[in-house]
């Protein structure tokens, strides 16, 4: 039988993937060019797929321990703002294309390192989900880092927008590496590798690394930005309006 930390951790991983997927999904039909509309939508589908695997695992653990009758949908659709455990980064508005690709890069680069560790965290279910997700995430890193470089080293305008995005998002990266008590992976230990990867890409993108700034935290333990409430009210609207209905 799995313990509460295992369930919370699965929810944390699921929530991050779902909320970022929900945000990226807003681009569908509104992308800068058809080919990239399709590309980011592939990432959206990967993220939603990952969230389902983690929710299903959390639900299985919960049902096994008899704490609640749960399914992937009750977990995604019937939990409230304060019980969502996603990273703050994932709930931030899309902004422009620069902000979206940078958010993806920060997140995916972190997720890749995390999934690599999750394969060896001594939990078969996690290992299986991680093994599948890693392949997807490697592509997300490639796609997003190439866009960071392209925009950073593109035109003066795109460079400026990229710098703005860095300034807007950097303060949400600190949370990645501060462990919540349920985490099965030592996230603090991932920081150096993540910084190395980001530094290398930023160098190629001719972007400057931000100085030490204040870091926002709270997502992992349910203290979110104001954005999350709006996301959930859209996401959960039908399930809330028609309780118990099958779709």
Partner 1 sequence: MHIQIRKFYYGDIPEENTGGATPINHSTEQGWPLWEVFIRSKQGLDHKHVGSLHAADAAMAIENARDVYTRRQEGVSIWVVESKFVHASDPADAESLYEPAADKIYRHPTFYDLPDAVKHM
Partner 2 sequence: MELYDLEKKFQEKIEKEIKIEPRDWMPDAYRKTNLRQISQHAHSEIVGMLPEGNWISRAPSLKRKAILIAKVQDEAGHGLYLYSAAETLGTSREQMIDDLHSGKAKYSSIFNYPTLTWADMGAVGWLVDGAAILNQVMLCRTSYGPYARAMVRICKEESFHQRQGFESLLVMSQGTEAQRAMCQDAINRWWWPSLMMFGPKDSESTNSDQSMKWKIKRKTNDELRQQFVDMIAEQIKLLGMTLPDPDLRWNEERKHYDFGEINWTEFWNVVKGNGPCNKQRLEARNKAHEEGAWVRAAALAYAEKKRVRTTAKVA
Question: In the range 67-106, which residues lie near partner 2 by CB under 8 A?
Answer: 72-73, 76-77, 96-97
Interface size with partner 2, residues (CB under 8 A): 49
For residue 235, the tally of other CB atoms under 10 A from its CB is: 17
Of 81-89, 154-162, 173-181, 218-226, the window that binds partner 2 (rule: CB under 8 A) is 154-162
Q: Any contact of residue 143 with partner 1 (CB under 8 A)?
A: yes
Q: Considering the complex, what minimum distance in angstroms separates the CB of residue 3 from partner 1?
A: 38
Q: Any contact of residue 209 with partner 1 (CB under 8 A)?
A: no
Residue 170 half-sphere exposure toward CB, CA atoms < 13 A: 18
C-alpha to C-alpha distance for 1 and 65, rounded to whole angstroms: 6
Q: Considering the complex, what minimum distance in angstroms separates the CB of residue 23 from partner 1?
A: 19
C-alpha to C-alpha distance for 38 and 43, rounded to whole angstroms: 9
Contact 151, 101 (CB under 8 A): yes
Q: Any contact of residue 35 with partner 1 (CB under 8 A)?
A: yes
State the angle between helix axes of 124-152 and 156-169 in degrees (0 to 180), rounded to the nearest 10: 140
Closest by CA position to 108, among listed 127, 135, 131, 85: 135
If 0-12 CB within 10 Å is exposed, 13-18 middle and 19+ buried, where does residue 20 land?
A: buried
Q: Any contact of residue 151 with partner 2 (CB under 8 A)?
A: yes
Question: In the range 44-63, which residues lie near partner 2 by CB under 8 A?
Answer: 44-45, 48-49, 51-52, 55
Q: Any contact of residue 39 with partner 1 (CB under 8 A)?
A: yes
The residue (of 1 and 33) whose beta carbon lies closer to partner 2 is: 33
Closest by CA position to 101, among listed 156, 43, 45, 154: 43
The residue (of 7 and 76) whose beta carbon lies closer to partner 2 is: 76
C-alpha to C-alpha distance for 41 and 58, rounded to whole angstroms: 26
Residue 81 binding target from partner 2, partner 1, none, CB below 5 to 8 Å by type? none
Residues 6+ apart with CB under 8 A from 137: 46, 108, 111, 112, 115
Interface size with partner 1, residues (CB under 8 A): 11
Determine which residue in the list 73, 116, 146, 153 makes contact with partner 1, applying CB under 8 A: 146
State the angle between helix axes of 4-25 and 227-235 in degrees (0 to 180), rounded to the nearest 10: 80
Give the residues lining the site for partner 1 (CB under 8 A). 33-36, 38-39, 42, 142-143, 146, 150
Give the residues lining the site for partner 2 (CB under 8 A). 18, 22, 25-26, 28-38, 41-42, 44-45, 48-49, 51-52, 55, 72-73, 76-77, 96-97, 149-151, 153-155, 157-158, 161, 234-235, 237-239, 242, 244-247
């Amino acid at each position: 039988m799995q313990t509460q930390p295992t369930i919370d951790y699965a929810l944390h991983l699921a929530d991050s993937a779902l909320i970022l997927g929900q945000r990226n999904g807003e681009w569908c039909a509104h992308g800068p060019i058809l080919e990239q509309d399709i590309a980011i939508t592939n990432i959206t589908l990967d993220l939603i797929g990952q969230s389902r695997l983690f929710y299903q695992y959390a639900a299985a653990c919960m049902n096994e321990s008899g704490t609640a009758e749960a399914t992937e949908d009750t977990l995604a659709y019937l939990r409230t703002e304060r019980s969502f455990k996603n990273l703050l980064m994932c709930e931030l508005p899309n902004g422009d294309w620069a902000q979206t690709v940078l958010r993806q890069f920060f997140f995916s680069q972190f997720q890749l390192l995390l999934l690599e560790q999750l394969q060896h965290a001594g939990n078969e279910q996690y290992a299986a989900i991680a093994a599948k997700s890693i392949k997807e995430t490697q592509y997300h890193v490639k796609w997003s880092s190439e866009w960071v470089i392209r925009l950073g080293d593109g035109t003066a305008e795109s460079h400026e927008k990229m710098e703005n995005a860095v300034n807007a998002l950097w303060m949400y990266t600190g949370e990645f590496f501060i462990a919540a008590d349920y985490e099965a992976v030592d996230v603090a230990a991932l920081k150096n590798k993540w910084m190395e990867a980001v530094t290398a890409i930023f160098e190629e993108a001719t972007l400057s690394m931000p100085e030490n700034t204040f870091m926002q935290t709270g997502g992992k333990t349910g203290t979110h930005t104001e954005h999350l409430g709006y996301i959930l009210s859209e996401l959960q609207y039908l399930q809330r309006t028609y309780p118990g209905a099958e779709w």
